[in-house]
Amino acid sequence: MSDDATFMLDGRPIRFEAGQSILQAALAAGAFIPNLCHHPEFKPHGSCKLCTVKVNGRASSACTTRARAGQEVASDTPELNRHRRTLLQMLFVEGNHFCPGCEKSGQCRLQALAYDLEMLNPHYEHFYPPRPIDASHPDVLIDFNRCILCALCVRASRDVDGKTVFALAGRGTAQHLVVDCPSGKLGDTDFAATDKAAEVCPVGAILPKRVGFAVPIGERPFDIEPISVQAAHAAHAEPRG
């Protein structure tokens, strides 16, 4: 069944190119593996663990595991999806995620994955952490309540913008996003609304100011079709080159 550039994902053959991760190859083939901290333009981070799959029976992050010929990869299984729901539930209770009043609702990958994986409740007790809002920048707002520590803004600022505006500080449950300047305020950095880091946040933590609900609820990308279906459509719209 398999050839030199094919692995099996949930019984379906996936062709890959040399150097691709399992996640990259699967997404390119229109096969969705849930993911949060992944972004096609950045090196893998491997921190959210939502893309965990079983490769020849062993659990691995699909974003950091290189695709190899003949791999048997299991992703869409009751066991893995149960673990993914648990991860999502922990993310929801660790921050303050109030979707009804969030501008990102319908465009938020955390919310979209929770719907897609049928997370019906938070299960765990909410932490309700006291987290601030940084509104010091004239054009961009940081709502730390919604940060999921994916580090995409850290990577975008460092690797694309060349500014290192953001970093993750602390460890374990004390880990948090910090702004790299003496005051710790975004308004005191050289951050700009045109930076790559201003557009990569998968949730509603980094948002442009004074833009609220210009697109009606119900007409937003993930309102129209689930994130897994969108991923398949995106792959078909952009044939592998």
Partner 1 sequence: MFRLETAENPQTLRRIAIEPLTRVEGHGKVTLLLDDADHVHQVRLHIVEFRGFEIFIEGRPFWEVPISVQRLCGICPVSHLLAATKAMDLIAGYDRLTPTAEKIRRLMHYGQMMQSHALHFFHLSSPDLLLGFDSEPTRRNIVGVAREFPEIAKQGVFLRKYGQEVIRHTAGKRIHGTGAVPGGVNKGISRAERDEMRRDIDRMIEWALSAVHLVAELHRAKPEFYDHFGEFSSAMMSLVDADGAMDFYHGGLRALDADGGTIFDGVDYSGYQQVLEEEVKPWSYMKFPHIRSLGPENGWYKVGPLARVQTCDRIPTPLAEMERRKLVARGEGKPVMGTLYYHWARLIELLHATEVIRDLLDDPDLLGSDLMADKGERRSEAVGVIEAPRGTLFHHYRVDENDQVTFCNLIVSTTNNNQAMNEAIRSVALSHLDGKTITEGLLNHIEVAIRAYDPCLSCATHALGKMPLEVDLIDAEGTLVQRARRNMGPER
Applying CB under 8 A, does 100 fall inside the site for partner 1? Answer: yes
Give the one residue of 4, 172, 174, 210 binding partner 1; rule: CB under 8 A: 210
Applying CB under 8 A, does 107 fall inside the site for partner 1? Answer: no
Report the distance separating Cα 178 and Cα 170, nearest Å. Answer: 10
Nearer to partner 1, 134 or 180 (CB): 134
Applying CB under 8 A, does 209 fall inside the site for partner 1? Answer: yes
Applying CB under 8 A, does 215 fall inside the site for partner 1? Answer: yes
Write the single-letter amino acid at 161. Answer: D
Report the distance separating Cα 141 and Cα 66, nearest Å. Answer: 37
Applying CB under 8 A, does 218 fall inside the site for partner 1? Answer: yes
Q: Where are the alpha helices (DSSP H) in the chain?
A: 22-28, 78-94, 109-116, 152-156, 221-224, 227-237
Applying CB under 8 A, does 216 fall inside the site for partner 1? Answer: yes
CB of 147 to partner 1, least distance (A): 16
Applying CB under 8 A, does 212 fall inside the site for partner 1? Answer: yes
Sketch the per residue contact string, 135 through 174, with partner 1: x for CB under 8 A, - otherwise: xx----x---------------------------------
The three-state (H, E, C) secondary structure of 134-194, written as one string:
ECCCCCEEEEHHHCCCCCHHHHHHHHHHCCCCEEEECCHHHCEEEECCCCCCHHHCCCCCC
Segment holding 73, helix H or strand E: strand 72-74
Residue ranges binding partner 1 (CB under 8 A) = 98, 100-103, 133, 135-136, 141, 209-219
